[in-house]
């Protein structure tokens, strides 16, 4: 017992005990509760069925017919041994997975507690860990779906934890190359937990490689600025509809060119020197020169590419808008850095001297870190290319294809500025659960503040701006502590990675974004709000006994949150409420009753049905968990014949949906309805078209 207390604080033991205890109760619930109250997202069953098929020797396939790579690899590896149990009982793997997720959940909460306790305060650490553990939105989005989100959240925080330790190491001693490789491995595991976390892995590498230099602070933010500036400049010129259908690809090409020339120009014009090396006016002058030079080079190179047939149609006036936007944002970042840094720096090495002095150190660290991250990513892409015919998951390619359509049966890409910045409604709200309080005040102030039912967005952004201004005022009044927290918690690179990740969806005509994509943003805001609370209560902690009172208040909050969470568990995962022979899903019972054994049935989604149905095969028709070959067949309008040749005889879908893009009505001549259920039809897929 003493060894346990040496490894874990009493609060950690209590927190883990509560989390595991509640989830063990949930894991023993009635079978009916699992697909209807807990693992309810169709997408999760894509993992479950593929993992089951791999464990049974059928390969990486959802339907046993088409090979697929439409998943994030690390979570699938976790699922494979769990869903090997499906051969014994279809619910048993779900019970086991719920407990596995609870263990990951507990480990993540402990990391949050340790980070906040070390760099902020004990009371805030307790409150933050409890909030993360029992907040209803976080639990529903991260831990209940059965998707890759638990392991993604864990590895993001584990990476931050390792980087916080690294902050103390490099300042005290020389770092061996093996340490950079170790950090690279942790970042690579984060990347494979969710592949869009590649931006986090890359940008946090800058934080490690350029330690001891102001480059580590400026470069990640500059990369985010370049992505914002170029893509938004094209949007300002074209509008969202034209951008999504015509210009998204060319905007990305121009952004990558700008990324190269702008970062190099900023470096060699001295914009990465210490903010206090000269007057702020000299710094701003150098940024102006760097922006002029890099904009001219970017424009010239892209026009040359177009002339050579390598580039695509592009609104050239966007380069002028990009110049103004990037100049403004680069200047603002240096002004902020000037404010936060300490006066008294009278000298900083010139860019060439700095490069000559540090290139070997940077190269050694960069080769070790990015050799692991880039090397493993390259291996992943090559293996995918050989095994599946494409180097990246086909699901992402399909969703970007959806977004390039003017109208589609599925979710549309970003359609206005709030959605572009990840502050729109539903799946585009990357600020949840923290924006809930903004929306709350938006409704409360509706009769008195910016009146009108059609002014909801204006009210939201006004209140958001006021909240941001208060937060900025608090951190500006506590510059030293804020700087320490930002450094130790790697908030700078995490923020930049979150911005770029949002734009990787909203600025690339990605259709079908989901609320669980925003793991990094959820963690970033949790850390930032924790810092805000810590700064607010900091003066109070100087008063005798107040620290104890704050800790007791945090524990009381924990007890309230635990009781509230228990009530949810008790309701959602009951014991003995449902009959043992009740069908797990009514739609599955209906399909089984109206189709023959061994029938191959097509569905536009079909994840949960594919997992629970007996003696039948479900084929995914939207392509998200189908083959790369099927993706091209669907694009070419030959999907009905392709699927019929592979034995599919029945479709369960809404025919009106099949008439819209991305299907474009290609199935209509081959369909004949014979039954209906829940707004969908069972249709025969004919061998020959009727017309």
% of the chain with per-residue pLDDT over 90: 78
Q: How far apart are CA 285 and CA 652, in angstroms?
A: 64
Distances in whole angstroms, Cα of residue 384 to Cα of each of 51, 73, 78, 390, 587: 17, 11, 19, 6, 34
Radius of gyration over every alpha carbon of the chain, rounded to an integer in angstroms = 27
Report whether the peptide linkage leading into residue 323 is cis, meaning its omega lies within 30 degrees of zero.
no
Contact residues for 75 (Cβ-Cβ < 8 A; gap 6+): 47, 147, 148, 151, 152, 193
Q: Are 17 and 88 in contact (CB under 8 A)?
A: no
Tokens at 579, concatenated: 């009959």
pLDDT value for 345 = 64
pLDDT band for 57, please (50, 70, 90 cuts): very high
Contact residues for 486 (Cβ-Cβ < 8 A; gap 6+): 492
Contact residues for 1 (Cβ-Cβ < 8 A; gap 6+): none
The one-character DSSP state at 247 is I
Tokens at 165, concatenated: 């330790």
Measured at the CA of 416, the angle between CA 413 and CA 421, to 5 degrees, comes to 85
300-350 pLDDT tens trace: 999 888 888 777 778 889 999 999 999 999 999 999 888 887 776 656 678
Concatenated DSSP letters of 136-183: HHHIIIIISS-SSHHHHHHHHHHHHHHHHHHHHHHHHSPPPHHHHHHH
Using a cut of 0.75, tell me whether the model's pTM lies above it: yes
pLDDT value for 344 = 64
Contact residues for 407 (Cβ-Cβ < 8 A; gap 6+): 660, 661
Q: How far apart are CA 131 and CA 469, in angstroms?
A: 24
493-503 pLDDT tens trace: 999 999 999 99
198-257 pLDDT tens trace: 999 999 999 999 998 889 999 999 999 999 999 999 999 999 999 999 999 999 999 999
Q: How many CA atoms lie within 13 A of 333 on its CB side?
A: 24
């Amino acid at each position: 017992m003493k060894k346990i207390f040496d490894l874990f604080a009493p609060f950690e033991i209590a927190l883990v005990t509560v989390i595991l205890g509640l989830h063990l109760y949930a894991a023993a619930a009635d079978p009916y509760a699992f697909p209807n109250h807990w693992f309810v997202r169709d997408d999760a069953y894509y993992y479950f069925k593929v993992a089951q098929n791999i464990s049974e020797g059928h390969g990486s396939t959802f339907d046993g017919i088409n090979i697929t790579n439409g998943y994030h690899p690390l979570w699938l590896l976790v699922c494979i041994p769990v869903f090997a149990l499906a051969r014994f009982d279809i619910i048993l793997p779900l019970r086991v997975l719920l407990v596995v997720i609870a263990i990951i959940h507990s480990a993540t909460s402990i990391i949050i507690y340790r980070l906040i306790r070390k760099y902020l305060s004990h009371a805030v650490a307790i409150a933050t860990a409890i909030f993360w553990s029992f907040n209803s939105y976080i639990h529903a989005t991260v831990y209940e779906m059965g998707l890759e989100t638990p392991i993604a959240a864990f590895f993001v925080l584990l990476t931050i934890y390792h980087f916080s330790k690294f902050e103390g190491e490099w300042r005290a001693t020389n770092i061996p190359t093996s340490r950079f490789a170790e950090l690279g491995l942790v970042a690579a595991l984060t990347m494979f937990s969710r592949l869009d976390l590649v931006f986090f892995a890359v940008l946090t590498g800058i934080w490690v490689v350029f330690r001891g230099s102001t480059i580590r602070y400026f470069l990640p933010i500059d990369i985010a600025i370049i992505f914002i500036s170029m893509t938004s400049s094209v949007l300002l010129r074209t509008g969202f509809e034209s951008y999504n259908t015509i210009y998204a690809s060319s905007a990305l090409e121009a952004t990558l060119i700008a990324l190269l020339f702008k970062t190099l120009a900023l470096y060699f014009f001295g914009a990465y020197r210490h903010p206090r090396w000269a007057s702020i006016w000299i710094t701003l002058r150098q940024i102006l020169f760097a922006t002029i030079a890099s904009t001219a080079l970017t424009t010239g190179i892209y026009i040359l590419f177009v002339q050579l047939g390598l580039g695509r149609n592009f609104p050239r006036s966007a380069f002028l808008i990009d110049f103004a936007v990037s100049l403004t944002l680069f200047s603002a970042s240096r002004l902020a850095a000037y404010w936060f840094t300490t006066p008294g720096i009278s000298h900083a090495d010139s860019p060439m001297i700095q490069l000559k002095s540090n290139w070997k150190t940077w190269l050694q660290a960069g080769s070790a870190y990015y050799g692991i991250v880039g090397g493993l990513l390259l291996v992943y892409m090559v293996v995918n290319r050989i095994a599946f015919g494409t180097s990246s998951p086909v699901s992402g390619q399909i969703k970007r294809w959806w977004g390039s359509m003017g109208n589609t049966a599925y979710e549309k890409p970003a359609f206005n500025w709030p959605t572009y910045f990840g502050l729109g409604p539903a799946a585009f709200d990357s600020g949840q659960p923290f924006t809930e309080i903004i929306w709350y005040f938006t409704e409360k102030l509706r009769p008195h503040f910016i009146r009108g039912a059609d002014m909801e967005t204006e009210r939201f952004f006004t209140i958001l701006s006021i909240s941001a201004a208060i937060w900025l005022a608090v951190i500006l009044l506590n510059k030293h502590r804020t700087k320490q927290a930002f450094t130790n918690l790697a908030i700078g690179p995490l923020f930049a990675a979150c911005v770029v990740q949002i734009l990787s969806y909203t600025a690339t005509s990605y259709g079908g974004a989901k609320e669980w994509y925003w793991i990094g943003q959820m963690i970033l805001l949790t850390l930032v709000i924790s810092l805000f609370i810590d700064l607010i209560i900091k003066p109070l902690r100087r008063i005798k006994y107040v620290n104890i009172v704050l800790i007791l208040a945090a524990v009381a909050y924990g007890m309230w949150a635990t009781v509230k969470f228990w009530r949810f568990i008790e309701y959602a995962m009951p014991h003995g409420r449902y009959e043992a022979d009740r069908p797990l899903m009514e739609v599955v019972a209906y399909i089984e009753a109206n189709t023959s054994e061994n029938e191959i049935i097509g569905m536009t989604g079909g994840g949960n049905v594919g997992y629970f149905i007996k003696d039948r095969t479900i084929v995914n028709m939207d392509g998200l968990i189908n083959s790369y070959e099927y993706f091209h067949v669907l694009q070419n309008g030959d999907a009905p014949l392709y699927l019929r040749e592979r034995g599919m005889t029945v479709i369960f879908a809404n025919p009106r949906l099949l008439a819209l893009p991305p299907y474009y009505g290609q199935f209509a001549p081959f369909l004949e309805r014979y039954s209906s259920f829940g707004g969908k039809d069972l249709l025969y897929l004919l061998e020959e078209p009727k017309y």
